[in-house]
Amino acid sequence: MNLQSAIQMAATTEAPEPWYLALLGFAEHFRTSSPPKIRLCVHCLQAVFQFKPPPRVEARTHLQLGSVLYRHTKNSELAQTHLEEAVSGIPQFEDVKFEAASILSEFYCQQNLVDSAKPVLRNAIQISQQTPYWHCRLLFQLAQLHALEKDLVSACDLLGVGAEYARVMGSEYTRALFLLSKGMLLLMERKLSEVHPLLSLCGTIVENWQGNPIQKESLRVFFLVLQVTHYLDAGQVKSVKPCLKQLQQCIQTISTLHDDEILPTNPAALFHWLPKEHMCVLVYLVTVMHSMQAGYLEKAQKYTDKALMQLEKLKMLDSNPILSSFQVILLEHIIMCRLVTGHKATALQEISQVCQLCQQSPRLFTNHAAQLHTLLGLYCISVNCMDNAEAQFTAALQLTTHQELWTFIVTNLASVYIREGNRHQELYSLLERINPDHNFPVSSHCLRAAAFYIRGLLSFFQGRYNEAKRFLRETLKMSNAEDLNRLTACSLVLLGHIFFVLGNHRESNNMVVPAMQLASKIPDMSVQLWSSALLKDLNRACGNTMDAHEAAQMHQNFSQQLLQDHIAACSLPEHNLISWTDGLPPVQFQPQNGPTTSLASLL
């Protein structure tokens, strides 16, 4: 509770002492000054104790002092003393105890004293059942604490308790919030057999609930975000489209609704999931994820730009750490787009930006270190630094327990070993672990299709062309089923290459021409380079001089663009990041003298 709320509460209680109202008023004035005068605010609150106030006022003043010191100063020891005093105060002042417990546990977590935070919350939960708002809030808070520690089982149990409590208290809205939060954690745990019935129940509750329009639509956004991310995790880019469209329509509806103050009559319903502006960024984010997987990279770029602009505005007014998480995830996706579209220098600068964001937040770095090394590995492949790529992917594998990310890294590491051509033992060991025909480690349609492609690529390099064709046709079948455009383009051009080697020029042309068209649409610079080289050789072999000349010109243009970008990227001081494989990323970068790699083996 802020000081303004305390003033209002004091004014409505029986005969508040004038000195108390005056000191609270001065404290609030100093707190909200521009710039805030926190030292004077603290002096006013400390002066309350000089008047030997009644126990309730004393307890509340400890809470207010602890809160101000925690949020606005570095005097953590004094903040802790006041908050602990408020928590251990007289039992009947429940509102003070519960708010103090909430802030104190938050304080402990910030000080990395998680084991001290848990009992504070548990004790408050045990005695708050007659206070619906605080009981629900404290359950959410303890569940979040367990989730941050990756103890998802305990977090899910608490959310289940909260859902049942909200049902008993007659708040279907808050019950839905608890259940959707539990569904989110079950998705993270990959407990799909539990997710499906839970999401089905949530869908029914959300549709049947009649209440504040913004609250209803925010529940629908939460529900649809879970559905969309579930599809995207499964690599089902085509199947997700109806849900994604509903989600985009839902956020448009929310943006037209007036953001009036929501004051439900049921105290158990005094919650909201996310602010409207945060929901908008989240919908942009899942749209970018979809566009990236589907291979609509220009669309991904458009929505990333919109989301990042919105984030910059929000971060000027709001320090919520979720905004930095959104920013990092957006950058991770757009970096992958840049590497595909032939903008390596820009990608490298954005990787450096992610490093800087992670340096500002230990939790952000812990959650995204594996992704950072993976992105650097992909960058290393694009500039033909295969030893560095291997080191980056190896570092990433040591940092992740996420099965989908692990499979993605292993797939890319296998491609590095195939290109190097002399790492047979390591390669076969990896391929055994991502065998698409037998015990594939994840349910992702997209990653399984990519595993077939890697098998096809290896068979091609080994000259086992019939086997390669079988694997690549499987990739094509899977990628066509879910509109995975980039995998389709890669498979077509590789099949075209195989048919060309076998002397079947007509069939080769039937593969390469659509590959080129699709690669131009994405746009995928490497596939365009590969396709134009094949078209040049095909047309020469068939005696089509004019077409061969046109393809040669295209190939020359793509080569020049890639070479210029390659030189620009390798000349950046950030290129030294490819050597970072341990600990926090370096803050300073030494300037490069020039590119240290060649463009020779892009194909």
Domains assigned to the chain: 435-575 (1.25.40.10)
| Rg (alpha carbons) of the chain, rounded to whole number | 29
The mean pLDDT of 577-596, rounded to a whole number, is 74
pLDDT of 422 reads: 87
Would you give the distance in Å from CA 159 to the centre of its chain? 22
pLDDT band at 141 (very low <50, low <70, confident <90, very high): very high
Residue 598 has pLDDT above 70, yes or no: no
The mean pLDDT of 249-261, rounded to a whole number, is 81
Q: Which residue has the higher pLDDT, 274 or 219?
A: 219
* Residue that the structure tokens 């596939």 belong to: 527
Neighbours of 357 (CB within 10 A): 17
Instruction: Give CA angle at 176 (174, 181), nearest 5°.
Output: 100
pLDDT of 370 reads: 97
Q: Is the peptide bond before 523 cis (omega within 30 degrees of 0)?
A: yes
pLDDT band at 165 (very low <50, low <70, confident <90, very high): very high
Q: What is the identity of the amino acid at 86?
A: A
Q: Tens digits of per-residue pLDDT, 52-110?
A: 888 788 888 888 888 888 888 888 888 888 888 888 876 666 778 899 899 999 888 88
pLDDT of 352 reads: 96
SS3 label, residue 457: helix
pLDDT of 250 reads: 93
pLDDT of 30 reads: 78
Residue 12 has pLDDT above 80, yes or no: no
pLDDT band at 13 (very low <50, low <70, confident <90, very high): very low
Closest alpha carbon to 410 in 455, 474, 365: 455
pLDDT of 113 reads: 86
Q: Which residue has the higher pLDDT, 512 or 150?
A: 512
Would you give the distance in Å from CA 562 to the centre of its chain? 30
Q: Which of 25-34, 38-47, 333-342 has the highest mean pLDDT?
A: 333-342
pLDDT of 43 reads: 87
pLDDT of 432 reads: 93
The mean pLDDT of 507-511, rounded to a whole number, is 96
pLDDT band at 275 (very low <50, low <70, confident <90, very high): confident
Q: Please, where are the H alpha helices in 295-433?
A: 297-317, 321-341, 344-359, 362-382, 386-399, 403-420, 424-433
C-beta contacts of 320-324 below 8 A and 24+ residues apart: 320/278, 321/361, 321/363, 321/364, 322/274, 322/278, 323/278, 323/281, 324/357, 324/360, 324/361, 324/364
Averaged confidence pLDDT in the chain: 89
Residue 7 has pLDDT above 80, yes or no: no
111-121 as b/e: b if 16+ CB within 10 A: eeeeeebbebb
Would you give the distance in Å from CA 482 to the centre of its chain? 23
The mean pLDDT of 173-195, rounded to a whole number, is 90
pLDDT of 2 reads: 53
Residue 603 has pLDDT above 70, yes or no: no
First to last CA, the chain: 63
The mean pLDDT of 432-459, rounded to a whole number, is 94
